């Protein structure tokens, strides 16, 4: 029964309780009339009560279908018994009275809200009609009714009245029970809504925590730029997109000139401030679709999807000019910030001199593009830094002749 829905559970319980009360009523009336010496009245009442007890076993199973059958059987038995008990001498009047008695019983079976009042009204109407029938029968010409018959007729309509009033009170009590169940359901629904709201708040907090964790997984904590792990995945993904859409992208690899001297002379907190200033300026100068990444140390990269690769050099020049005007607290005023930048392009647009990439994976192409940008970066350092060098400007075999990065010097002899 616990698996039933609330409405079905209420209906099953109402049916079970109703059949039980009707059975007890009929058995009680039968025993009372048997003790009063009226066996003809007691017999149908006891039979109806016992049959209602059988129907009660059917209703106790808790299944809605069986409960409906039990309720309909109880209504039919009560209707038949009332007809047998309350039928006057005229067969036509008895049939009419059975129909009238059946109306309130059927209404009881469907009792809902204001129908309780309607049921009581119909019950009173039936009682008055029956009383009128009894009196009319007693006044018919040639009617010879003895005292016992009159008292028996009075007992019949009294029994009908008691039964109807009792069934009316049963309907009211069932309605009150239904109201109580509805209040309980409303309380439980309120608790469920409160629990649902708490779950929604927890889900929101969890989503925010997951979003924060994802940001921490792909962002550099010092500068807020994307980290190296994200850079490797994003570069391969952008190359895949370029190959699919036949477009191009530019990769910039850069590092801060003479950053080691800034750390040594000004301190690491100042060096960290320089890195944050560089990342902020890169984000400000380049487009929102360009991806600014910190590869490690003072080295940055920018992935720039574009259909016009050479136009990106204008943005690079604007960045270098803005960087020289950037001031960082702790860095001497006479020392201007500068960066060496290597420029490389992956062009998947169809043209006669386009290289073929058959047999190469997106990761292989990404590694090759990064190496070409690194070569251009080293060439920029060899030329003194503070400038951008494209991959076309790198002499063939230049990497074989470059000294280590920490030994490269600018024209003034300072380590870069």
- 156 lies in the same domain as 274: no
Mean pLDDT computed over 9-27: 73
- 169 lies in the same domain as 314: no
- 157 lies in the same domain as 256: no
- 113 lies in the same domain as 233: no
- Which sign does the torsion angle of CA 399, 403, 405, 408 carry? negative
d(CA 227, CA 255): 15
Mean pLDDT computed over 306-325: 92
- 80 lies in the same domain as 162: yes
d(CA 69, CA 323): 89
pTM metric for this prediction: 0.55
- Is residue 413 assigned to a domain? no
Q: What percentage of the chain reaches a pLDDT higher than 70?
A: 67
d(CA 115, CA 172): 10
Predicted local distance difference test score (pLDDT) of residue 254: 96
- Is residue 218 assigned to a domain? no
- Is residue 377 assigned to a domain? yes
- Is residue 412 assigned to a domain? no
| C-alpha dist (Å) from residue 404 to 401, 408, 415 | 10, 7, 11
- 131 lies in the same domain as 187: yes
- 188 lies in the same domain as 241: no
Residue 281 belongs to what domain range? 228-407
CATH of residue 260: 3.30.70.270
9 vs 179, more confident? 179
- 235 lies in the same domain as 108: no
The residue with tokens 């009609």 is 129
- 117 lies in the same domain as 182: yes
- Is residue 207 assigned to a domain? no
pLDDT 10s digits, 191-228? 999 999 999 999 999 999 998 888 888 999 999 999 99
- 167 lies in the same domain as 302: no
Predicted local distance difference test score (pLDDT) of residue 367: 93
Phi, psi of 355 (to 5 degrees): -70, 155
Which range among 98-112, 137-151, 301-315 has the greatest average pLDDT?
301-315
pLDDT 10s digits, 92-137? 344 444 444 444 444 444 444 444 445 555 555 555 555 555 455 5
Do the bridges between strand 339-347 and strand 388-390 make them parallel or antiparallel, or are there none, so unpaired? Answer: parallel
pLDDT 10s digits, 41-69? 788 878 888 888 888 887 776 666 777 77
- 232 lies in the same domain as 188: no
- 187 lies in the same domain as 246: no
Helix (H) or strand (E) holding 248: strand 248-256
């Amino acid at each position: 029964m616990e698996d039933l829905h609330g409405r079905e559970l209420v209906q099953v319980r109402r049916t079970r309780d109703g059949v039980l009360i009707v059975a007890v009523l009929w058995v009680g009336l039968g025993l009372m009339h048997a003790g009063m010496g009226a066996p003809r009245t007691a017999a149908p009442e006891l039979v109806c009560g016992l049959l209602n007890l059988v129907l009660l076993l059917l209703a106790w199973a808790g299944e809605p279908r069986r409960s409906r059958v039990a309720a309909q059987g109880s209504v039919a038995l009560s209707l038949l018994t009332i007809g047998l008990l309350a039928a006057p001498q005229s067969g036509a009047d008895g049939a009419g009275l059975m129909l009238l008695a059946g109306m309130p019983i059927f209404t009881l079976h469907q009792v809902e809200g204001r129908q309780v009042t309607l049921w009581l009204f119909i019950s009173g109407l039936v009682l008055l009609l029956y009383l009128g029938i009894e009196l009319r029968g007693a006044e018919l010409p040639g009617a010879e009714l003895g005292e016992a018959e009159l008292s028996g007729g009075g007992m019949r309509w009294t029994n009908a009245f008691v039964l109807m009033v009792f069934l009316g009170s049963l309907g009211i009590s069932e309605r009150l029970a239904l109201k109580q169940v509805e209040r309980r359901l409303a309380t439980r629904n309120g608790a469920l809504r409160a629990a649902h709201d708490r779950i929604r708040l927890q889900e929101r907090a969890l989503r925010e925590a997951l979003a924060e964790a994802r940001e921490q997984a792909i962002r550099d904590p010092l500068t807020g730029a994307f980290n190296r792990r994200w850079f490797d995945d994003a570069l391969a993904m952008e190359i895949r997109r370029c190959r699919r859409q036949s477009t191009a992208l530019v990769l910039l690899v850069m590092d801060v000139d003479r950053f080691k001297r800034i750390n040594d002379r000004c301190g690491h907190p100042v060096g960290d401030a320089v890195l944050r200033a560089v990342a902020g300026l890169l984000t400000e100068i380049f487009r929102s679709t360009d991806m600014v990444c910190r590869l490690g140390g003072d080295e940055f990269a920018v992935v720039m999807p574009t259909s016009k690769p050479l136009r990106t050099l204008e943005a690079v020049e604007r960045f270098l000019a803005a960087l020289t005007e950037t001031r960082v607290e702790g860095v001497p005023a006479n020392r201007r910030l500068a960066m060496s930048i290597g420029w490389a392009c992956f062009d998947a647009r169809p043209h006669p001199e386009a290289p073929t990439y058959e047999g190469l994976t997106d990761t292989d192409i990404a590694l090759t593009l990064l190496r070409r940008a690194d070569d251009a970066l080293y060439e920029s350092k060899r030329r003194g830094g503070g400038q951008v060098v494209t991959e076309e400007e790198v002499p063939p075999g230049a990497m074989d002749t470059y000294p280590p990065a920490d030994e490269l010097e600018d024209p003034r002899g300072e380590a870069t």
